[in-house]
Amino acid sequence: MKLDFSKLDGLIPAVIQDHASGRVLMVGFMNEAAFTKTLESGNVTFFSRSRNKLWMKGESSGHVLKVKSIATDCDDDSLLIQVDSLGPGVCHNGYESCFYRTYDDGAWVESERPTYDPRAIYGNSK
């Protein structure tokens, strides 16, 4: 049973969920090589659309996502990956989850506090 990478120019979305808390941490994209690398290494590896190359999450920050289980959906074109998140947060802005802003009456409002200082991890260049 193969995944369907045909719908988004070779990419499928991968939802990353903390296996213990159930929190959705981020959404990334994988091409077939990234999916294979994720399976082989046990570390979530995306295809970076901005850098146009494979990107192991945590390769610079150390905030690696260890795979616990992988599910696909009925159309074989999305992944849901349960992880053990090794860092204090997955978001390069310093939050546990990239989804730290909530819609409120026409605006996106920060709905939680940061969990770490990203300048200490990424420097000032992000």
Q: Which residues bind a copy of itself (CB under 8 A)?
A: 1, 7-8, 13, 15, 17, 21-24, 26-27, 39, 49, 69-76, 78, 80, 91-93, 95, 98-103, 107-108, 111
Query: Between 59 and 109, whose beta carbon lies closer to a copy of itself?
Result: 109
**Contacts of 16 by beta carbon, 8 Å cutoff, 6+ apart:** 24, 25, 26, 27, 28, 44, 57, 65, 81, 83, 90
CB of 52 to a copy of itself, least distance (A): 13
Query: Between 103 and 123, whose beta carbon lies closer to a copy of itself?
Result: 103
Query: Between 103 and 113, whose beta carbon lies closer to a copy of itself?
Result: 103
Decide: helix, strand or coil at residue 91.
Answer: coil
Cα-Cα-Cα-Cα dihedral sign, residues 97, 99, 104, 107: positive
CB of 64 to a copy of itself, least distance (A): 18
